[in-house]
Chain A
Amino acid sequence: MSLIGVPLIVCAVLATVAVLAATILVWNRWGRLRFVLRPFGVLLTEALLVVSVGLVVNRSEQFYPTWESLGQSSKSVGTTYVVNAGGLDAWLRDHGSDVSDQGSAFPWQAAGWADWHLAGEPLVFTPAGYLAHTGWRYPTVLVLDDGKHGWTTASETAAARGAGGPVVVVFVRTTPATTPETLTSVLPAALAHDLRVTDKRWSLVAPAAEAALADKIVNAAPGRFPTLALVKPTAAAGRTPPAGGPKKPVKPPVKPPAKPPVKPPAKAPAKKPPAKPNTASKPNRPTTATALPVGIITTTVVETAFTAGTADPAGAADRSGLAAALQWACSQTPPPLAASTPAATSLPVYHSPHHAKHPEPNGSEAPKPRGGKHVTR
């Protein structure tokens, strides 16, 4: 008999009436025993009345739809995924490049990378501590390098190290033949095979000249690339800075205001919250090929004459537009985290003492960490 079914409610109501009738019948009978039966009958009637009302409410609101749900364990504690090692983790460890805790920078020859229509193999930077924290998965910053900004391997490595947080940075040498699909699906899949990286909320950095490709990437994979930083050079970039200090940044062309969203046919609300400055979706951006949806967070980093022409290469790397863009992009991503507690798929939550017997979540569309398997802690 279902907990939310009509038969149970009918039974409860009939039982209430029956007990009430029985209580009335014995009220003046059975001698001294009636002084026990009376309160017992009254309390039982009250309890059954409460149960009847509770069943009706429960049927309406579906609080406890099944008998099992009344006594189920609720804590999804003690179960987590283990993060599998990346394909290059052992190679990185063998090369000892992480020993100094400075991170590693290496040309990445992923399987099939020659078909990606790049000008060269991507440069990958793994952060300090990558090999020490084998249970963490790292967010990624993807940097498009069109080869026209004068970014060198050394400056890119320095900028990646100056990103200020643990993040995997991938510099890809784009060409006009590079497709957004390569950068939104093929490259991430290859990277996830080789390194312990997350599968969402990466960040994208691109030169302003590559804004069209960047916009296509963001539009194609907004969940993976919800943030975009464009690096815009000044006309004076590369020249010696003037003695008067930082040069006023070049203001990028202001994009015309986006078309307002379609209004519903209904009347407007009487009171709306005041509009807040939408710095996230309305930055000053250079001309782009396609409009980005609301919610995509963008910014533009302007190279100044000061940063472009400084005589101190190390300092220049820290203060370059690329470094600033990487710092911003890194801050938009989550920190490296251990694999999430898997979404509970059933109640009561099953706790097995044996790792191998632990159930794999199913019946859920929640993303499963790549290559993960259950362990108990």
Chain B
Amino acid sequence: MSPDSLALELVALSAAVVAAVALSVFWAAMRRWLRAVVIAVCLLTVTATTLVWVNRQVDSYPTWASLFGSTADAAVPTTPTAKTTNAATAGHIVRFTVTGKTSGITVPMWAYLPPGYQESGTTRYPVIEALHGYPSSPVQWLKGFDVANVLDREITSGRMAPTVVLFPYQTPKPMIDTECANLVNGPQAETFLTVDVPEFARTHLPVRTDPAAWGLIGYSAGGYCATMLALRHPAQFAAAAGLSGYATPGIVIGNNLEHTEYDLVWRLKHLPIPAVSLYLSCAKTDKFALRSTQEIAKAAHAPLSLTIAYINGGGHNAGTWEAMEAPAFDWLSNSLGRPTIQSTVSPSPSTNPPPKGTLLAGSPAVTTRPAGGR
């Protein structure tokens, strides 16, 4: 019975009802101190019921361990739940533990492996890092947004290329809001997401390593994260999709950086603008996100490519992000390089190494072959 389970919510609700009934029925028989205790129990149980409901909405604490500051494992369906799934049409979810050697952050990370994925195969997939909101966890992508089924549907329908999607934590402790930044005297979340996670993926998964095939997506705080990381690391990410994201981190990063480098509008106005592609989507009723999106759009110009999608209705909630999910993934796939086939030819010992960044015609370095035909 996890903290985000329906069973726990029903138990908490039952406890609230029992406490209220007990208070009412045994009121006359109770001493004063006992009445105070039962009243407190009533308030605690109703508070617990509310908090469990909220946790079920945001999946901030998917495990009991996470309640005590650990970003521990959570029970996540490893295969999509669609009735017609099979190996050819369904991807699956796997869990890793990423030990961040550079950032010092060690947390679980889930990965969606697309239909047809073979660990020992020669296909090298594009990668999308999917970032969660705050308070929340990667589990909301997996359980709340049903992301595996969404990705399966988009890939099998040909609207999206087979892609590996990573779901990392962006904080070492659930209650610490990092906004994916390197906090001064705090967690180095930015380093974790831009150095450790890519390094882990390159080492453990058959993914493309060049920036043309790396993208970001996130909702709420994760939306800010995706946009911020793409602007700050254009040599690593080609595109980013921010769903209901903001223009500022909304936290204190330190050294006044939250008002400069990490303020996206300030950044666009004062620093060189990179040639990356951004997709910003929000509900028109989500005033904070709408204002941020409009400010970013006003400050952005070439070489930045910006696509904006507004939704009438909705809000800053899971239902709205679910509606944004598939179009955003499709847009990302159209903004990233394709899966390639890694050549199995070994480099010839007599081949002269080309200069860095240079392809030598006829060398094994250029024998990768796109695998777009499906």
Query: Which of A261, A271, A272 has the largest number of chain B CB atoms within 10 A?
Result: A271
CA distance A273 to B313 in the complex (A): 40
Tell whether, in the assembled complex, residue B338 and residue A63 are in contact, meaning their CB atoms are under 8 Å apart.
Answer: no
Instruction: Chain A residues near B266: list those with CB within 8 A.
Output: 264
Given known contacts A66-B313, A249-B355, A266-B255, is B322 in contact with A75 (CB within 8 Å)?
A: yes
Tell whether, in the assembled complex, residue A341 and residue B211 are in contact, meaning their CB atoms are under 8 Å apart.
Answer: no
Chain A proximity of B42: nearest CB distance (Å)? 6
CA distance A251 to B202 in the complex (A): 29
Tell whether, in the assembled complex, residue A43 and residue B17 are in contact, meaning their CB atoms are under 8 Å apart.
Answer: yes
Given known contacts A39-B20, A279-B357, A331-B370, is B274 in contact with A293 (CB within 8 Å)?
A: yes
Tell whether, in the assembled complex, residue A333 and residue B337 are in contact, meaning their CB atoms are under 8 Å apart.
Answer: yes
Query: Which residue on chain B has the smallest CB distance to residue A306?
Result: B362
| CB < 8 Å neighbour of B254 from A73, A269, A346 | A269
Tell whether, in the assembled complex, residue A366 and residue B327 are in contact, meaning their CB atoms are under 8 Å apart.
Answer: yes
Instruction: Chain A residues near B273: list those with CB within 8 A.
Output: 293
Instruction: Chain B residues near A249: list those with CB within 8 A.
Output: 352, 354-355, 358, 360
Interface presence of A328 (CB below 8 A): yes
Given known contacts A42-B42, A46-B42, A338-B159, is B277 in contact with A264 (CB within 8 Å)?
A: no
CA distance A245 to B363 in the complex (A): 12
Instruction: Chain B residues near A65: list those with CB within 8 A.
Output: 283, 285-287, 315-316
Tell whether, in the assembled complex, residue B288 and residue A344 are in contact, meaning their CB atoms are under 8 Å apart.
Answer: no
Within 8 A of B (CB), among A309-338: 319-321, 323-325, 327-328, 330-338
Query: Which residue on chain A has the smallest CB distance to residue B311?
Result: A344
Instruction: Chain B residues near A367: list those with CB within 8 A.
Output: 307
Given known contacts A27-B27, A271-B191, is B235 in contact with A281 (CB within 8 Å)?
A: yes
Tell whether, in the assembled complex, residue A35 and residue B310 are in contact, meaning their CB atoms are under 8 Å apart.
Answer: no
CA distance A377 to B154 in the complex (A): 13
Interface presence of B303 (CB below 8 A): yes
Tell whether, in the assembled complex, residue A366 and residue B308 are in contact, meaning their CB atoms are under 8 Å apart.
Answer: yes
Tell whether, in the assembled complex, residue A302 and residue B323 are in contact, meaning their CB atoms are under 8 Å apart.
Answer: no
* CB 8 Å contact bits of A346-377 with B (1 = contact, 0 = none): 11110000000000000111110000000001
Given known contacts A64-B317, A271-B191, A300-B359, is B323 in contact with A365 (CB within 8 Å)?
A: no
Chain A proximity of B267: nearest CB distance (Å)? 8
Size category, B interface: 35 or more
Instruction: Chain B residues near A340: list those with CB within 8 A.
Output: 159, 327, 330-331, 334
CA distance A68 to B284 in the complex (A): 13
Interface presence of A242 (CB below 8 A): no
* CB 8 Å contact bits of B237-273 with A (1 = contact, 0 = none): 0100000000000000111110111000010001111
| CB < 8 Å neighbour of A222 from B305, B317, B318 | B305
Chain B proximity of A298: nearest CB distance (Å)? 8
Chain B proximity of A357: nearest CB distance (Å)? 18
Instruction: Chain A residues near B238: list those with CB within 8 A.
Output: 226, 295, 297
Tell whether, in the assembled complex, residue A280 and residue B235 are in contact, meaning their CB atoms are under 8 Å apart.
Answer: yes
Chain B proximity of A19: nearest CB distance (Å)? 13
Query: What are 13 A-B interface contacts by the 8 Å CB criterion?
Result: A43-B16, A63-B315, A65-B286, A66-B315, A223-B303, A246-B362, A249-B355, A271-B191, A282-B357, A295-B275, A297-B212, A345-B310, A363-B312
Given known contacts A304-B360, A304-B362, is B323 in contact with A344 (CB within 8 Å)?
A: yes
Instruction: Chain B residues near A135: list those with CB within 8 A.
Output: 158
Q: Give the 5 A-B CB pairs with smallest separation, nearest first.
A: A165-B370, A283-B357, A335-B372, A38-B24, A295-B275
Tell whether, in the assembled complex, residue B24 and residue A348 are in contact, meaning their CB atoms are under 8 Å apart.
Answer: no
Within 8 A of A (CB), among B96-145: 102-103
Tell whether, in the assembled complex, residue A334 and residue B337 are in contact, meaning their CB atoms are under 8 Å apart.
Answer: yes
Within 8 A of B (CB), among A270-313: 270-274, 276, 278-285, 292-304, 306-307
Given known contacts A80-B159, A273-B188, is B310 in contact with A363 (CB within 8 Å)?
A: yes
Instruction: Chain B residues near A364: list those with CB within 8 A.
Output: 308-311
**What residues of chain B have their CB less than 8 Å away from a CB belonging to chain A?**
16-17, 20-21, 23-25, 27, 42-43, 46, 50, 102-103, 153-154, 157-161, 182, 184-185, 188, 190-191, 194-195, 210-212, 234-236, 238, 253-257, 259-261, 266, 270-277, 279, 281, 283-288, 302-303, 305, 307-320, 322-324, 326-327, 330-331, 333-341, 350-352, 354-363, 366-374
Tell whether, in the assembled complex, residue A283 and residue B316 are in contact, meaning their CB atoms are under 8 Å apart.
Answer: no
| CB < 8 Å neighbour of A69 from B27, B153, B315 | B315
Given known contacts A76-B326, A200-B334, A344-B324, is B358 in contact with A302 (CB within 8 Å)?
A: yes
Tell whether, in the assembled complex, residue B46 and residue A46 are in contact, meaning their CB atoms are under 8 Å apart.
Answer: yes
Tell whether, in the assembled complex, residue B326 and residue A341 are in contact, meaning their CB atoms are under 8 Å apart.
Answer: yes
Tell whether, in the assembled complex, residue B275 and residue A293 are in contact, meaning their CB atoms are under 8 Å apart.
Answer: yes
Instruction: Chain A residues near B154: list those with CB within 8 A.
Output: 341
CA distance A270 to B254 in the complex (A): 8
Instruction: Chain A residues near B374: list those with CB within 8 A.
Output: 335
CA distance A302 to B371 in the complex (A): 25
Instruction: Chain B residues near A248: list those with CB within 8 A.
Output: 352
Instruction: Chain B residues near A342: list those with CB within 8 A.
Output: 327
Tell whether, in the assembled complex, residue A77 and residue B370 are in contact, meaning their CB atoms are under 8 Å apart.
Answer: no
| CB < 8 Å neighbour of B212 from A69, A166, A262, A332 | A332
Given known contacts A165-B373, A347-B312, is B368 in contact with A295 (CB within 8 Å)?
A: no
CA distance A280 to B351 in the complex (A): 23
Instruction: Chain B residues near A292: list those with CB within 8 A.
Output: 275
Instruction: Chain B residues near A54: list those with CB within 8 A.
Output: 50
Query: Which residue on chain B has the smallest CB distance to residue A282?
Result: B357
CA distance A301 to B355 in the complex (A): 10
Instruction: Chain A residues near B312: list those with CB within 8 A.
Output: 345-347, 363
Instruction: Chain A residues near B360: list those with CB within 8 A.
Output: 246, 249, 301-302, 304, 324
Given known contacts A297-B212, A324-B359, A346-B311, is B302 in contact with A222 (CB within 8 Å)?
A: yes
Instruction: Chain A residues near B323: list those with CB within 8 A.
Output: 74-76, 344, 347, 349
Instruction: Chain B residues near A328: list those with CB within 8 A.
Output: 359, 366
CA distance A303 to B161 in the complex (A): 32
Besides A323-B361, A328-B359, 10 other CB < 8 A contacts?
A42-B23, A223-B302, A252-B355, A262-B270, A307-B362, A337-B158, A337-B160, A337-B333, A343-B281, A366-B309
Interface presence of A61 (CB below 8 A): yes
Query: Which residue on chain B has the smallest CB distance to residue A315?
Result: B362
Tell whether, in the assembled complex, residue A261 and residue B272 are in contact, meaning their CB atoms are under 8 Å apart.
Answer: yes
Tell whether, in the assembled complex, residue B20 and residue A347 are in contact, meaning their CB atoms are under 8 Å apart.
Answer: no
CA distance A226 to B275 in the complex (A): 7
CA distance A136 to B333 in the complex (A): 14
Within 8 A of B (CB), among A75-117: 75-77, 80
Tell whether, in the assembled complex, residue A245 and residue B367 are in contact, meaning their CB atoms are under 8 Å apart.
Answer: no
Instruction: Chain A residues near B361: list those with CB within 8 A.
Output: 301-304, 307, 319-321, 323-325
Instruction: Chain B residues near A306: list those with CB within 8 A.
Output: 362
Instruction: Chain B residues near A35: list those with CB within 8 A.
Output: 24-25
Query: Which residue on chain A has the smallest CB distance to residue B195?
Result: A273
